[in-house]
Structure 1
Amino acid sequence: MTTRPSTLRGVVAVTLLVLNTLFWCTPLFVLALLKLALPFQKVRLVLDPAINGIATHWISGNSAWMRLTQRTRWDVAGVDGLPYAGWYLVQANHQSWVDIFVLQHTLNRRIPFLKFFLKQQLIWVPVIGLAWWALEFPFMKRHSPAALRANPALRDEDRETTRRACEKFALVPTSVMNFPEGTRFTPAKHAAQASPYRHLLRPKAGAMALSLHAMGGKFDSMIDVTIVYPHGRPTFWQFACGGVPEIVMRAHRRPIPPEFCHGDYSGDAAFRARVHHWLAELWAEKDAEIERLLAGRRDSA
């Protein structure tokens, strides 16, 4: 299958994305300001589902322009039959900004609305930064290693942000999204880490452990997602221009060990080691799955 990038296709796709975003941001901001003015739990229980519903329609609109402007072949498995009601912890490997659109497109209306942890700087993105704020996406400061060495107390800022966010997520069914690698994959980062995985960076368990502890037993299970771009990692512009011939995604619903919802990740070294071991095993399985998916396509080429 040949998909030729087209600048015109990209312009149309981005224009439709902007129009769709502006259309749904208007009611989103109105309800968010109403919730800000009336900070009561009973009000949240009414407005939060309505706000999430607006976001769900926004994602459906994005899926519509993707179907209209793209010729990408989607090879997706593991998303049918997921119970919609409840709370999920979702994790995936991270290669490109396209990952966000892939996850939203394939999981929308199958599980509750995805909430992402974002870098603090992204709140300044025009319009969409305010939309993420209105949807109560947690903004993490992610201090540099040098800053953390100089002031270890800075670590508590992101822990507190996660705790407060998860308290809100616990009120209505939510899917909490986590990229354990913490950054997008590049060969340079892979080499700098001396990663033991062929296709992945080393996973970090901290954000996952904080979410599990803050949400307690709310999570029904984990949705473990593997995303593969057989023709190479795309930029968003390449995707918008129609330059992504195929996207492969596999989702696996996995049980979460109950003890991980109650242990002390920061203060108990033995518990922390068990969490790391569990995540490392999942990551090894994911790495092997990526290799199988790519090898299958090489063999059929």
Structure 2
Amino acid sequence: MQALLTGIATTLLLLLNTLILIGPMLAIALLKLILPGQRLRDACSRGVMWIAEAWAENCKRVFAVFTPTRWDIRGGDGLRNDTSYLVISNHQSWVDIPALVQAFNRKAPYFKFFLKKELIWVPFLGLAFWALDYPFMKRYSKAFLDKHPEMKGKDLEITRAACEKFKRMPVTVVNYLEGTRFTPVKHANQGSPYRHLLKPKAGGVAFVLAALGQQLDAILDVTLVYPGQGVPGFWALLSGQVPQVIVDIQTRPLDPALWQGDYENDGEFRQYVQAWVSDLWQEKDARISELRAQSQG
């Protein structure tokens, strides 16, 4: 009963926070569509981001008051709001998003996620995602692409177009290299060589690096671990059933060699980026094992 009451209270307060702030956010976003001049439109974009940060901060307060979750944030010192970052993270649950908010809101520029196209239809949040200029990606199955080869590369085109917008102000771009949430079934079907991760996809991050490399200050390598439990669902967080979340942040310098080549047409450069991603993922897999062992000890 306690978990149910906690979940209801937390849900209602988060919904209220969203209802109060989504109106001003959408008003500014619509204003951006009609105002002349890039400077005015960029000012509207900054206004939308300010509201989003206020919304996220209110969400943090709700979780702090109503849930016992301990957000164990390690690293991430010296972050700034006036520069851009690329966040690379493993992905297991919807709880991953609040975890990133806890770690980075108002410490780094507000997030830009690459989202599944279907999420635009989520009540309230879909409109907020649109207002925030989140790129919506349409994923196609291998069987579909075999029948419709003209659709290959569409996601990368969206990535390239989105990154052009990101160039005009500081931004934190979040890239889930696995492309989907980890599950044991997906892990088995892939035959993943990693113990805790799905196979990474290098193409998306390669295009983000190519478009924003000069603008990015660093790569924030985030490893999320839920110790002492299985991967929790979002209701578990809302109802106070997630005791601890580890957010491990390693700030990595950005090697210019990662964005100074042509990923599409240069095979040698493509292999270089893929090897870098593979090394990063091997280190992350080992890091997850280490963090889990520490939490159990």
Residues 210 and 259, structure 2, Cα contact 8 Å, conserved in 1:
yes
Q: CA deviation at 1:39?
A: 5.5
| 1:104 partnered with 2:101 | yes
Secondary structure class of the residue paired with 1:226: strand
Secondary structure class of the residue paired with 1:142: coil
Alignment of 1:1-301 (within 5 A): 6-38=3-35, 40-230=37-227, 231-299=229-297
Q: Take 2:214 and 2:202, find their aligned partners in 1: how far apart are those partners?
A: 18
Task: Name the Cα RMSD after superposition.
Answer: 1.3
Q: CA deviation at 1:235?
A: 0.3
Residues 224 and 251, structure 1, Cα contact 8 Å, conserved in 2:
yes
Indicate the larger mover: 218-227 or 4-13: 4-13
Secondary structure class of the residue paired with 1:6: helix
Moved segments of 4+, more than 6 Å? none
> Identical aligned pairs, as a percentage?
48
Residues 71 and 102, structure 2, Cα contact 8 Å, conserved in 1:
no
1:218-262: per-residue Cα shift (whole Å, max 9, x none)? Answer: 111110100000122000011111110111111011112212223
Indicate the larger mover: 57-66 or 145-154: 145-154
Indicate the larger mover: 260-269 or 239-248: 260-269
Residues 68 and 240, structure 2, Cα contact 8 Å, conserved in 1:
yes
Structure 2 gap segments, 5+ residues each? none
1:257-290: per-residue Cα shift (whole Å, max 9, x none)? Answer: 2122231112111111111111111111111111
Q: CA deviation at 1:79?
A: 2.0
Structure 1 gap segments, 5+ residues each? none
Secondary structure class of the residue paired with 1:244: coil
TM-score, normalised to structure 1, is: 0.95
Change (3 A) 1:38 1:6: same
1:64-103: per-residue Cα shift (whole Å, max 9, x none)? Answer: 1110111012211112321222111111000000101110
Change (3 A) 1:281 1:27: same
